Structure 1
Amino acid sequence: MARRGTRSSTFARRAVRHDRHGRAQRSPATGPHLPPLKNRIDSFDMTVAAAADFLRATWPDELVNVRFEVGNMPVGEQNGEGVARWWTSAAERRVVLYRLPIQRMSKLHRDDELHQRMMIESCVFRATAELIGKDPWDLGPDRFRF
């Protein structure tokens, strides 16, 4: 007759935690070693970085040593035109895009992921055009030609 409670030491029991209904807890969908799925801040940063990389590859001489940064909100008093979406400085070679005004104050005719990304990219293009003194449509001529 086998004795109760004797197990080989090679088999360790896994601890199973139960919630108040007696069910085992579920693991996260992304697993323990993966970052969480995307959020608005990360997707904004990735869109700005992708547009900046495209512009740097297209205009390498004009955008040498230009830093693209993301800020939450503009600091200080605003001019009479409303809340700024970006700030550029040719002397410092900087473009700062403000995430909250771009995401929350833009009036999109369709509020989905594609149109939000297009709004972010258009702000990157317009801010860069302001920095180097060109028309935004000239920055990516083949990108918009179908």
Structure 2
Amino acid sequence: MAWRRGKTSERAPRRASRHGRHGREGRSSVVRPPLPPLDTRVDRFDLAVGTAAEFLRSAWPELRDVRFEVADMPAATDDDGIPRWTVLPDAGRIILYRLPIERLSHMHRDDDLHRRMLVEGAVFRAAAEYLDRDPWDLGPERFRYF
């Protein structure tokens, strides 16, 4: 049969309306809708450390070049037990240990606000040790309402 130019009277059989050209339209999506962002304890801890560190950097010029780091556990214990943070003034670093701060500290109320206050308190105490000051001197207006 020779190829003919122009319209032909024969039409291809029409597919069902749920199928497209490749037979895929109308099917359910393979990927589910986007999930909400993960909100883990690690993320909340990092956020609390970051916001407290930014507050302290903005209030105290001595802390502007200090690196606040988060580690899971200290390498070793000291005479007082398991340290919550390590201050390295020569290196300009403050290392906060997430697991001792979260698990070994006692809260009188177990909710998100008090967990965040616990972490921020540890950041303030570590920064106070770095500056050789009292933690209440670092941000007295921050605690005015408590």
User: Same fold, TM exceeding 0.5?
Assistant: yes
Give the AA of the match of 1:9: R
Q: How many Å separate the matches in 2 of 1:115 and 1:131? A: 24
Structural RMSD (CA): 2.5
* Conserved? CA contact 2:58–2:64, under 8 Å: no
Aligned residues: 132
Q: Match of 1:5?
A: 15
Q: How many Å separate the matches in 2 of 1:6 and 1:102? A: 62
TM-score after normalising by structure 2: 0.79
Q: Match of 1:59?
A: 60
Q: CA deviation at 1:64?
A: 2.9
Q: Match of 1:121?
A: 120
Q: How many Å separate the matches in 2 of 1:83 and 1:14? A: 59
The alignment status of 1:140 with 2:139, answered yes or no, reads yes
Q: How many Å separate the matches in 2 of 1:46 and 1:106? A: 19
Give the AA of the match of 2:15: G
Q: CA deviation at 1:37?
A: 2.9
Give the AA of the match of 1:74: P
Q: How many Å separate the matches in 1 of 2:26 and 2:104? A: 50
Any idea what SS the aligned residue of 1:143 has? helix
Unmatched 5+ residue regions in structure 1? 18-23, 31-35
Q: CA deviation at 1:106?
A: 1.0
Runs of 4 or more off by more than 6 Å in structure 1? none
Percentage of identical aligned residues: 48
Q: CA deviation at 1:28?
A: 4.9
Give the AA of the match of 2:64: V
Where is the helix percentage greater, Structure 1 or Structure 2? 2
TM-score after normalising by structure 1: 0.79
